[in-house]
Structure 1
Amino acid sequence: MVDETGNEKNKRNRARRGAKAEEASQSPSETNKPDAKSASANGAGGNGNGAAANGRPSSGGRPSSGGRPSSGGRPSSGGRASNGASASNGASASNGASGGSSSGASASGVANGANGTAGANGTAGAQAAANGGNGASGGNGANGGNRGANGTNGTNGSSGASGGKGDEVRPQVATRFADTDFRQVLGTGLAACRRNLITVAIFSFIVNLLVLSIPVYLFNISDRVLTSRSYDTLIMLTIIVIGALLMHVVLDMARRFILMRTAVELEAKLGAPVLAAAAKASQNGSSREFQMLGDLQHLRSFVTGPVLLTMFDAPIAPVFLLAVFLVHPKLGFIVLGASIILLTIAGLNQRLTAVPFGRANAFATRANLQADAMARNAQVMNAMGMIPEGVLIWGKETAQSLISQVDAQDRNIIMASCSKFLRLCTQIAILGYGAFLAISGEVTGGMIIAASIVGSRALAPIEGTIEGWRSFVQARSSYARIRALLHNSPLNFERLRLPRPRGHLIVERVLYVPPPNKRVILNGVSFELQPGESMAIVGASGTGKSTLGKMLVGSIFPTAGNVRLDMMDLRNWDPRQFGESVGYLPQDVQLFPASIKANIARMRTDTTDAAIFEAAEMADVHSMISEFPQGYETQVAMDGSPLSGGQKQRIGLARAFFDNPRLVVLDEPNSNLDTPGERALAKALKSAKDKEITVVAITQRPSLLKSVDKIMVLKNGTVQALGKRDEIMPMILPQRSPAGTPPNGEVPLLE
């Protein structure tokens, strides 16, 4: 009886608390006041202890962290209290997550579990808050609409940042495009082209068969109409031939339309993969791979050109040859012999022109690279009068290319002229020998004319192939280069999508010997940085500092050894995910021809203005950008104008810190900075340390050394000294004597 009485009392107590919760929900003016004893300013619950809707403890429970009902004193948008709303779930009625409803929880927040015991540690309400919702509170915290910090408020009862906007919830996995296998893209593009080309081949076969209507018409006019003098036969034959020619024209237009759209589809499917693979392959600074876009244009021109149609007509040549044999076998043997000779000329033409055409393409590529280099260094060449020398170098390469082209074209023209002469002689032979056969009574005059036309059509594709051989060779070479680029691209291999890195950088016995000179640039370099640590790399020019910086951001890979981020080798990180977690300021800062806003955002369109502003504030360039008439919308030209060298460097610094990367590598970040720029850089390094961003700064200026934790000295590609700042500073910056010279005649390593 005692137990029953106690249970009845507990039930009555819970009923009274439920009634009070209902009264509180009906009196928002009184219950919406903040509770001074509330455990959290943001109203985040989820501590696993039973709590009533008005913030008072249930039996055996503790108050919820919010202690207030939802806005307006009503349950969340689902119509019922959410998972965090019941006493059994350890949250108040105001803590419902996005209107989700909990099983067994009433709108008043009365618990269904005995004694208000917590049973919601893993419920959907807590999980919804943990997965990046607006905390656990239906009212979005004490300040109204502010997001919970890091989306963790629903799981451990901790509150978001009070009095302001919490940190934006970041995804644990980097934003990425769809997985791209360039080999598969190439195969898909070729498959689409193959389907279209099969259709074109069928149309070509029909088109060439319809061409036979003309010699058949002439044969019937000569041997039937003229002898029978029948107007009806003439009219019917003419109508049939006109219909055949009309179908010929329609199908010929259709196959040309298909080829044109095939070329467009080919460039649309392969353009982006070729550009991406070329950008990845040219990260060593060479722009040779970007010539692949020109190769893609060559392929498109070949597909839409007349040479490919001629090649489609070539397989139909045996049909015309058979038609000549049907007229008379001896005439057929004349055409067959001419075809064999033409094929021999075609093979000889290929052998004679392959080497000079290849040499011409090689020299043309060098000339294009020289022109690209002149375009990149136009200001320097104009300032120092180097244009004649640049033009001279380009002219030498172009001259060699033209000489080789002329050599190859001369041989091709000779072979094409021989083939044309042979074709004309074949027609003469058919007419002459046909006349001989006609005199003998073996053939008629109409058969001779028909055989001459059909024989010419049989030889025309072979002759056209010889004349267009150069275009075919260029297209074949272009396709081979594109295929090799896409098949060998490192972007083909899918990597595991790892969690966002913390910034733990490990460099293990790195050796770098770039081809082709085989000179050792880095030898046995090793160091380790914990998340949030910063290190300066100093040393004389040519010691491998910039090379090491490129290696740390994955632009180049070591010949031996490993560079690891969070224990994972950089080769095994997904390129997109790794790039979003890394910031890089190269020694030569180049901006894209776009707005300042787009440059800071790394040309991404899936970002927010707040993220751009945060990066600008971190690099302390907001005030500088505000001085421009158009502010963040100021357009940057190809040469970087209207920005100065120092302004470009500061914009590049903001770009490096965009989206709070975990690793930032700065190569000579203060080389063009004035005093305000130096202060902004020091402020950025301090902010990076506060956000636990690992920073590696390559510098030769002592002013930057005061802002780092460690210093590494490189000499001839090896580590000469490595340690904490206070330990290394006296070694590289010794105290100077009053006379201004270092004691003992030592020269600082920075000089």
Structure 2
Amino acid sequence: MSKSHVACEVSGALRRCRAGFLGVALLSGLINLLMLTGSFFMLEVYDRVLPSRSLPTLVGLIALALLLYAFQGGLEILRGRILARTGALLDQALGRRILELILRAPLRSPPGAAPTDASTLGEGLLPLRDLDTLRAFLSGSGPGALFDLPWIPVYLAICFLFHPLIGAAALAMSAALAAIAVLSEHVTRDPLRASTAHGATRLGLAEAARRNAEAVAALGMRERLIVRWCSANRDYGDTVLATSDTTGLLSNFARTLRTALQSGVLAIGAWLVIRGEATGGIIVAASILVSRALAPAELTIANWKGFVAARQAWGRLAAGLARVPPEALPHRLPAPAASLSVEDVSLVLPGNGRCVIQGATFSVGAGQGLGIIGPSASGKSSLARALVGVWPPMRGAVRLDGASLDQWTSASLGQHLGYLSQEVALFAGTIAENIARFEPDAPPEAVVAAARAGGVHELILRLPRGYDTALGEGGAGLSAGQRQRIGLARALYRDPFLVVLDEPNANLDAEGELALTRAILGVRLRGGICIVVAHRPSALAGVDMVLAVADGRVRAFGPKDQVLARVLHQGPAPDETTPLREVA
């Protein structure tokens, strides 16, 4: 996708918030005009009420000031509510794409890879945290301060109207605060980036330890992981403290300068009154006005940490969305029903560059079953991922009925695929929901049919609430074998044309392996294609073709008996050609 398209996608989220920003800008203008109430009230009291000793005038000024203050308070409440809803609108505009980024980005990284720094987007939940950072910033006081900044020249102009000396003092302090803001930008940018990186590492360690709590306890790794986490937590805390100390120092320095200037303006005003160049009301009015003129700059410096964090979060999200563009909507194709063909496919390990499959070519027709065998790390699982579109080929194509997989969207292709990975991933929800792939209003008969096809119907009925049994995260509450059999039923849901099973019998007992064989034969009998990646020959009982892989290359492809006799008993050398159907 072109950079301009990505830019349009990113800026589109802001364009949806444009009405809110315009409303905030308008309200900020009115609020800043009403901020003059205090200065002019004091000016009128000192220059009009006190000399005339007129109580009606004082009462009228008080009533008018209270009314203006009420309007000001109401407008500030309204501005805060608009900013909060603008943040929510931004969340809605980007939320779907952010979750898509979280789900798709790991497919572009090696299996099990962990992020090395905060710039490695898509690892873990960092994009979601970045979106939360943006929303929190928009809902805070930072944007209001930024919208108030353009009104500083107006206040300075009024200060010059009071007297050039007062205006010059306010202008000099504004320049000093601007320098502090520039310094704040310089000193907080890198520490904030580092704190984000350490925070991602810290959360990643905690999540990995929680997810593998059983292995951690059984292998005595708890203390070592705690020490490692404490080290990452210490690094995170140090960067957060360094950033907080710096921003706190600059913010307090700016506040001290503003307070000192306010007193200085009182002194200048008194001097001008003594010289007869100003009235008594100007002393207090100018002090209040200067304080108000510099308040947006002071508040901006106080919120600069959040501003830099939001800007960095926005940059990371923009970069992540650029790397994972939205899926195109190709022309809708008919359901595949005839063949699967792999044409000169070469696969590169995502995020690594290492070639794991080279020049694989074979084809399977409807009603056939294919077993993929080979030693560990030979590329079998990588090839399985390519067959279901998880990993796009670097070269060549995987085709269903002649159409390459990229001619389907993930949602439309998923209707025709069944996939069981080595690590069965079940989700928090009921068994029925997991089997139905969380399809809304899934037909109960289709769920039961899938369970029967996977040979797990009776097992489910023996559970406390049957199909309505609630599972914890990752399928907590079930044994590894039960999870694998329910994952098989999910792969068979709605009779997909192509079913790919990666080590489907790794955790199965004899009963489970018999059910697996029946499921494979069932797919073939209804005219589908079933592909099984296996180490144990028992998983190949239901297939009629075998593909042998070694060192990332297809070594043999043909009828099961011939290939197994050749590969399992004779063990061909890596460079040996085979008399079976040879694959280039």
Q: TM-score, normalised by structure 2?
A: 0.91
Q: Could you say which residue in structure 2 is the equivalent of 1:342?
A: 177
Q: Secondary structure at the match of 1:525?
A: strand
Contact (CA 8 Å) 1:532, 1:692: kept in 2 or not? yes
Q: Aligned pair in 2 of structure 1 residues 198, 424: CA closer, same or farther (>3 Å)? A: same
Given residue 264 of structure 1, which amino acid in structure 2 is its aligned partner? A
Given residue 475 of structure 1, which amino acid in structure 2 is its aligned partner? A
- Give the counterpart of 1:482 among 294, 317, 338: 317
TM-fit CA distance, 1:649:
0.5
Q: Aligned pair in 2 of structure 1 residues 656, 684: CA closer, same or farther (>3 Å)? A: same
- Once the two structures are overlaid, the 10-residue window that deviates more, 236-245 or 418-427, is 418-427
Q: Secondary structure at the match of 1:707?
A: coil
TM-fit CA distance, 1:516:
5.2
Computed over aligned residues only, the root mean square deviation of the Cα atoms, in angstroms, reads 2.1
- Give the counterpart of 1:359 among 191, 194, 197: 194
Q: Could you say which residue in structure 1 is the equivalent of 2:58?
A: 234
TM-fit CA distance, 1:548:
1.2
Q: Could you say which residue in structure 2 is the equivalent of 1:213?
A: 37
Q: Could you say which residue in structure 2 is the equivalent of 1:305?
A: 140
Contact (CA 8 Å) 1:182, 1:492: kept in 2 or not? no
TM-fit CA distance, 1:559:
2.5
Q: Could you say which residue in structure 2 is the equivalent of 1:70?
A: none
- Give the counterpart of 1:274 among 91, 98, 115: 98
TM-fit CA distance, 1:265:
2.6
1:409 paired to 2:244: yes
Q: Could you say which residue in structure 2 is the equivalent of 1:222?
A: 46
What does 1:527-546 correspond to in 2, within 5 Å?
Answer: 527-546=362-381
Q: Could you say which residue in structure 1 is the equivalent of 2:272?
A: 437
1-side partners of 2:322 and 2:548: how far apart?
A: 40
Contact (CA 8 Å) 2:105, 2:123: kept in 1 or not? no
Q: TM-score, normalised by structure 1?
A: 0.71
Q: Aligned pair in 2 of structure 1 residues 617, 182: CA closer, same or farther (>3 Å)? A: farther
- Give the counterpart of 2:469 among 634, 647, 653: 634
Q: Could you say which residue in structure 1 is the equivalent of 2:536?
A: 701
2-side partners of 1:526 and 1:475: how far apart?
A: 49
Q: Could you say which residue in structure 1 is the equivalent of 2:420?
A: 585
Q: Could you say which residue in structure 1 is the equivalent of 2:581?
A: none
- Give the counterpart of 2:565 among 714, 730, 750: 730
Contact (CA 8 Å) 2:6, 2:325: kept in 1 or not? no
- Once the two structures are overlaid, the 10-residue window that deviates more, 249-258 or 259-268, is 259-268
1-side partners of 2:31 and 2:193: how far apart?
A: 35
1-side partners of 2:300 and 2:23: how far apart?
A: 21
Q: Could you say which residue in structure 2 is the equivalent of 1:513?
A: 348
Structure of higher RCO (CA pairs closer than 8 Å, 6+ residues apart) = 2
1:608 paired to 2:427: no
2-side partners of 1:555 and 1:394: how far apart?
A: 32
Q: Identity, % of aligned pairs?
A: 37
- Give the counterpart of 1:671 among 506, 515, 538: 506
Q: Secondary structure at the match of 2:437?
A: coil
TM-fit CA distance, 1:205:
1.3
Q: Could you say which residue in structure 1 is the equivalent of 2:580?
A: none
TM-fit CA distance, 1:734:
2.8
What does 1:372-387 correspond to in 2, within 5 Å?
Answer: 372-387=207-222
Q: Aligned pair in 2 of structure 1 residues 506, 482: CA closer, same or farther (>3 Å)? A: same
Write the deviation string for residues 377-401 of structure 1: whole angstroms up to 9, x where unpaired.
1222122222222222322222222
Contact (CA 8 Å) 2:532, 2:540: kept in 1 or not? no
Write the deviation string for residues 701-727 of structure 1: whole angstroms up to 9, x where unpaired.
111223212111111111122211121
1:255 paired to 2:79: yes
2-side partners of 1:717 and 1:384: how far apart?
A: 33
1:394 paired to 2:233: no
Contact (CA 8 Å) 1:503, 1:663: kept in 2 or not? no
Contact (CA 8 Å) 2:430, 2:469: kept in 1 or not? yes
Q: Aligned pair in 2 of structure 1 residues 602, 239: CA closer, same or farther (>3 Å)? A: same
Q: Secondary structure at the match of 2:355?
A: coil
Contact (CA 8 Å) 1:665, 1:695: kept in 2 or not? yes
Query: Where do 5+ consecutive residues of structure 2 fail to align?
Result: 114-121, 572-584
1:625 paired to 2:460: yes
- Give the counterpart of 1:265 among 89, 107, 129: 89
Name the one with the larger helix percent. Answer: 2
TM-fit CA distance, 1:697:
0.5
- Give the counterpart of 1:426 among 261, 264, 271: 261
Query: Where do 5+ consecutive residues of structure 1 fail to align?
Result: 1-180, 736-741, 743-751
2-side partners of 1:183 and 1:435: how far apart?
A: 56
Write the deviation string for residues 248-278 of structure 1: whole angstroms up to 9, x where unpaired.
1111111112122222232233323311232
Structure number with greater Rg is 1
Q: Could you say which residue in structure 1 is the equivalent of 2:401?
A: 566
2-side partners of 1:502 and 1:290: how far apart?
A: 39
| Misfit runs of 4+, over 4 Å | 181-188, 284-287
2-side partners of 1:608 and 1:184: how far apart?
A: 40
TM-fit CA distance, 1:671:
0.7
